[in-house]
Chain A
Amino acid sequence: MGLLAQYVINGAMLGMMYALVAVGFSLFFGVLDVIQFAHGDVLMVGAFAGLAAHALLAHLGVTSPALLLLGVLAAAALSMAILGALIARAVVLPLKSVPPINVLLMTLMLGTALREAIRLFYPGGSQPQRFPSLLPGTATAVGALTLRLDNAILFATGALLIVGTHLFITGTRLGLAIRAVAQDEETARCMGIDFTKVVLATFALGSALAAVAGVMNGLYYNEVGFGMGLLLGVIGFSAAVVGGLGNLYGAILGGFLFAALQTIGAAALPFASAYKDVFAFGVVIVLMAFRPTGLIGEKASERV
Chain B
Amino acid sequence: MSGFSRIAAALVASVLLSAYLLLFLRAESTYTVALLLACGVAVALALRAKPLAPLARAAGSSRALPPFGLLGVVALALLLRDDAFSLFLVARVLVIALACLGLHLQFGSAGVVNFAGAAFFGIGGYTAAVLGRGGAIPGALVLLAGGVAAAVIGSVLILPVLRTRGHYAALVTVAFGILFRTFLEVNDTLGGPQGLKLAGLEIFGLRLGDDLALGPLEGSFLVKYVLAAVVLLALGFALVLRIERSFVGLALDAVRLDETAAAAFGLDVARWKILAFTVGNFLTGLAGALSAYLVGFIAPNNFTFSESLIFVSIILLGGIGNAAGVPLAAAIVLLLPEKLQLLQEYRYLLYALLVMAVLLFRPGGLLPRRLRRWEAGGAA
Contacts and interface: CB of A to CB of B under 8 A. Distances in A.
A66 interface: no
B281 to A, nearest CB: 15
Given A101-B113, A110-B356, A278-B179, A237 B174 contact: yes
A230 B351 CA distance: 18
A241 to B, nearest CB: 4
A128 interface: no
A284 interface: yes
Contacts of B355: 105, 109
Given A116-B349, A288-B164, A292-B168, A281 B178 contact: yes
B168 A288 contact: yes
A135 interface: no
Contacts of A272: 186
A83 to B, nearest CB: 16
Contact of A289 (B159, B167, B185, B353): B159
- The B interface is mostly helix, strand or loop, or mixed, namely helix
A112 B352 contact: yes
Interface stretch (A3-11, A70-78, A92-100, A157-165): A92-100
B170 interface: yes
Nearest to B158: A289
Nearest to A273: B186
Contacts, number: 127
Given A102-B363, A105-B359, A304-B260, A281 B176 contact: yes
A64 B196 CA distance: 53
B165 interface: yes
**Interface hub of A29, A95, A284 (most chain B Cβ within 10 A):** A284
A139 interface: no
Interface residues of B, number: 44
B356 A113 contact: yes
Interface in B146-179: 157, 159-160, 163-168, 170-172, 174-176, 178-179
Nearest to B354: A109
B305 interface: yes
A285 interface: yes
Contact of B172 (A106, A285, A302): A285
Interface string B275-313: 000000000000000000000000000000110010011
A292 B168 CA distance: 7
A275 interface: yes
Given A102-B316, A112-B309, 6 more contacts: A95-B363, A109-B309, A109-B313, A112-B352, A116-B349, A292-B163
